[in-house]
Amino acid sequence: MTEPGLILRAGRMSDVPAIHALLREQAAAGNLLPRTQENLVRHVRDFVVAEQDATLAGVGALEIMGPDLGEVRSLAVVPMFQRRGMGEQVTQALVRQARELGLKRLMALTYVPGFFARLGFEVVDKDSLPEKVWQVCVKCYKFNRCDEIAVMLRLDEVPGTAAASG
Ligand SMILES: CC(C)(COP(=O)(O)OP(=O)(O)OC[C@H]1O[C@@H](n2cnc3c(N)ncnc32)[C@H](O)[C@@H]1OP(=O)(O)O)[C@@H](O)C(=O)NCCC(=O)NCCS
């Protein structure tokens, strides 16, 4: 379902203050990790933005963790725009980008595994994510008490064949 007036587009430098404010608000609510404006400036190319009637309504980023592995990061929808399908559309845009890049797996660390399950992601053991653990988690303030759930989407399987092959 697409809301009338909804545009999905690449992140721009002029989005950084609004992305920063949205992530700060969601981080304060304990839903995701905060990011500095400086970090967002350096990574703004990772972002897909959902714009509703010229207002930034949702964001998500595809970060490359290794030659085969990408991560959905900083996925957030402004509360007044939630449950209208925007989070799903942003995530699907990130999945398309990951496929186009030739990545084989796309992961996320999340408190809402049910949201990702609808899109085909499966819960996996965090220990199966060595790249993530070594590159990013060691720098995270939650490293020793991470309570997020790891989910993974395999991009190298044709949809619908995994269950059929047992
Ligand atoms: C998670 C989030 C991005 C979802 O965005 P959204 O635009 O509200 O979600 P959608 O409307 O695309 O949801 C599609 C479906 O996913 C499921 N879903 C959505 N939000 C959910 C939630 N918080 N918990 C469980 N399932 C959820 C629902 O089944 C929903 O369909 P329905 O509304 O018909 O029941 C948004 O709630 C958000 O910004 N949350 C706070 C930040 C956060 O937790 N980010 C995830 C970090 S990995």
Which phi and psi angles does 123 have, rounded to 5°? Answer: -70, 135
Q: Where do the domains of the chain lie?
A: 6-161
CATH number of 6-161: 3.40.630.30
Q: From ligand 1's centre to the CA of 165, what distance in Å?
A: 30
Which residue's alpha carbon is at the smallest distance from atom 33 of ligand 1?
Answer: 83
Cα–Cα distance measured from residue 90 to residue 88, given in angstroms and rounded to the nearest whole number: 6
Give the chain's largest Cα–Cα span: 48
> What tens digit of pLDDT does each residue of 52-98 get?
999 999 999 999 998 999 999 999 999 999 999 999 999 999 999 99
Cα–Cα distance measured from residue 161 to residue 157, given in angstroms and rounded to the nearest whole number: 7
Q: 89-112 burial string, b = 16+ CB within 10 Å, else e?
A: bbbebbbebbeeeebebbbbbbee
**118 C-beta closer than 6 A to ligand 1:** yes
> What tens digit of pLDDT does each residue of 110-123 get?
999 999 999 999 99
**Most ligand 1 atoms within 8 A of CB, residue of 62, 82, 132, 152 to mutate:** 82
Helix (H) or strand (E) holding 49: strand 47-52
